[in-house]
A and B are shown apart, each in its own frame.
Chain A
Amino acid sequence: AQSVTQLGSHVSVSEGALVLLRCNYSSSVPPYLFWYVQYPNQGLQLLLKYTSAATLVKGINGFEAEFKKSETSFHLTKPSAHMSDAAEYFCAVSANTGNQFYFGTGTSLTVIP
C-alpha cells in the first residue's frame, strides 16, 4: 500500500528565503513520486516527478526535490521564494503497478513580502 504524509499544512516564508516543503511516503514497492502545485480555483500543475532515475529532480519555476530512500522522503525545495510561489502544494505517490495516485493533504505556502 502507498501513502503520503505532508508535515505542516501551512508554511510561511519571507520573499527571498529558502522554501522547504516536507513529504514522507510509505510504499511497499519502489515508488514514483510527484509534486504538484495548485493555484486558487485552478487545477493541479506538475512541478516535478521522480521515476527511479536521478535522485535529485529539478522541476519548473526553480523547484527541486531529492528522493531519499533511507528516510522515505521527497522534500521540495527552492533556494529563494518569490511572491508568485504562494499556492497549495501536493505530494503524490504511485506504485510501478496499478493506477492510483495517492495525494497528501497539501501544504499551503505563504510568501511574506
Chain B
Amino acid sequence: NAGVMQNPRHLVRRRGQEARLRCSPMKGHSHVYWYRQLPEEGLKFMVYLQKENIIDESGMPKERFSAEFPKEGPSILRIQQVVRGDSAAYFCASSRFEASTDTQYFGPGTRLTVL
C-alpha cells in the first residue's frame, strides 16, 4: 500500500514563473491537506480539500496560490509568479476521514527554491 506521493521532490523556479506541486493521497483517502514549512519553523496549514471541493483555505495566501483536487488525478498546489519568499518545503497529507480525529499521513514533501 503506497503512501502519500508528492512530485517533484525538488523544484527550482525563477522569480515570476509558475510552480505546480502534485500530491497523490494514499489509496482510499479522500481528504487532502497542504502545509508549508519555512526554514526553522513548524508546518503551517494552507488548505484542506476533498474530491472536487475546497473545504478550508484559511491558511492560503489570498493571491497567487490556488489548489485543486479533481475527481480524477492528483491534488495540485499552484503558485503563480513565484517570489523568493515562496521558497519552502511544501507537504501534502491525506486522511481517510476528516482530520479532527483521524491520522494525517504525510508525503515526503516538495522543496521549492526560487532563484
Q: Which A residues fall within an 8 A CB radius of B?
A: 9, 32, 34, 36, 41-46, 49, 51, 90, 94-106
Tally of chain B residues near chain A (CB < 8 A): 30
The residue from B41, B93, B100 contacting A32, defined by CB atoms under 8 A apart = B100
The stretch that binds A, out of B14-22, B60-68, B74-82, B105-113, is B105-113
Give the number of residue pairs across the A-B interface with Cβ within 8 Å. Answer: 68
The residue from B31, B35, B55, B99 contacting A94, defined by CB atoms under 8 A apart = B99
Bound complex: CA A9 to CA B104 (Å): 23
Q: Which B residues fall within an 8 A CB radius of A?
A: 4, 6, 31, 33, 35, 40-45, 48, 55-56, 58-59, 91, 93, 98-101, 103-109, 111
Bound complex: CA A46 to CA B93 (Å): 12
- Which among A9, A41, A97 has the highest number of chain B CB atoms within 10 Å? A41
Bound complex: CA A43 to CA B93 (Å): 9
Are the C-beta atoms of B101 and A101 separated by less than 8 Å?
no
Kindly list chain A residues whose C-beta atoms are within 8 Å of the C-beta of B58: 100
